[in-house]
Amino acid sequence: MKQIIRNECKRVFWGRGMAVSLVISFSVIVWHLYNHVFGPGAISSVNIFTRETLFQMWIGGNVTYMQTYLYFKIIPLLCVLPAGATLFEDYKSGYTNFVFIRTTRSKFLIAKYIAVFLSGGFAITVPLVVNFLCTALRFPALKPEPIMMIGPNLNAMWLDLYYDNPWLFTVLSFLIIFLLSGAIATLALLFTYLTDYKFLLLLLPFVCCSTLEAIENISNIPVALSSFLVPAFPERYGFMLWIYFLFFTTTGIGYYIMGCFKK
């Protein structure tokens, strides 16, 4: 089992899809760093009320940046690119027939799920960590001040942590981003059994997340994943995390069952 997981991870982490995803991700990250951290147009003076801090100036700490909106909007595309279509390609190329001779279908499906999950989380989280560390070179790691009016609302998840222990808040936010990005990537595994077109596998997770965003805009119900993933998003409610967990657990079980019964 360990060897299968190792082989699948090697395929996805050193594949062309991962390279494309990271190039796009870091392009947005560099754009943000140039505009708001190191470039000539970046803030160079003290705010009228209080000093800008690392936790408010990195790409995940301020929802007013164009780069923040773009990056978290295209997460469903970026996390699927590294490995979302690999199962589809394995079936089409006959690679699965070769694998099933040497191991059980169950082990292969689990190894594939783990590899896709890890690749999706890695592709999204690593550029964000780099952005955070680069922003730390320019802005001090002072605690955010409520008077700046940038950050979660009064009922948002982990509001106390944001102001009392922003380091822990940021680490936990990275963890959530990793887990949910990996989970979004695994949606493509389920869609492998529902479509015969590879490009749809890469688009359907994005379509699903965009649909949730449209529902949120119409109904004012906070269901959009793209908004929830932003660490400092004002309306980031904790109960949605449990809903996402139940949803992705269900889709993962569905993928496993359909994979076991596929002929």
Among the residues of the chain, which ranges form H helices?
2-13, 16-33, 54-57, 66-73, 75-78, 86-93, 95-102, 105-136, 159-164, 166-191, 198-219, 225-228, 239-261
Predicted structure pTM score: 0.91
CA distances (Å), origin 85, targets 93, 175, 228, 243, 250 = 12, 24, 25, 26, 20
> CA of 155: how far to CAs of 158, 169, 261, in Å?
9, 15, 45
Q: Is 244 helix (H, G, I), strand (E, B) or coil?
A: helix
pLDDT at 44 exceeding the cut of 70: no
pLDDT classification of 50: cutoffs 50, 70, 90: low
- Kindly state the average pLDDT of the residues 182-189: 94
Contact 22, 8 (CB under 8 A): no
**By mean pLDDT, which of 7-11, 25-29, 44-48, 256-260 is the weakest?**
44-48
Q: Which two tokens stand for residue 163?
A: 């102001």
Q: What is the pLDDT at residue 168?
A: 94
> Is pLDDT of 219 > 90?
no
- Model confidence at 49, pLDDT cuts 50, 70, 90, reads low
The model's pLDDT over 242-261, given as tens digits with 9 standing for 90+, comes to 999 999 999 999 999 988 88
pLDDT in tens, 52-79: 788 888 999 888 889 999 999 999 999 9
Residue 155 reports pLDDT greater than 80: no
Structural contact between residues 225 and 184, judged by C-beta atoms closer than 8 angstroms: yes
> Whole-angstrom Cα distance, residue 114 to residue 213?
27
For residue 254, what are its two tokens?
Answer: 């569905």
The span from the CA of 224 to the CA of 215, in Å, is 8
Measured distance CA(187)–CA(220) in Å, rounded: 25
Q: Give Cα separations from 214 to 128, 158, 224, 230, 232 (angstroms).
A: 25, 26, 8, 17, 21
pLDDT band, very low/low/confident/very high, at 146 (cuts 50, 70, 90)? confident
- Among 17-26, 80-89, 233-242, which range has the highest average pLDDT? 17-26
Number of compact structural domains in the chain: 1
Residue 152 three-state SS: coil
Query: Distance between CA atoms of 120 and 82, rounded to whole angstroms?
Result: 7
Which range marks the domain in which residue 36 is found? 2-261
Count CB atoms within 10 A of the CB of residue 68: 22
What tens digit of pLDDT does each residue of 93-136 get? 888 888 888 888 888 899 999 999 999 999 999 999 999 999 99
Please check the confidence at residue 6 and state whether its pLDDT lies above 90: no
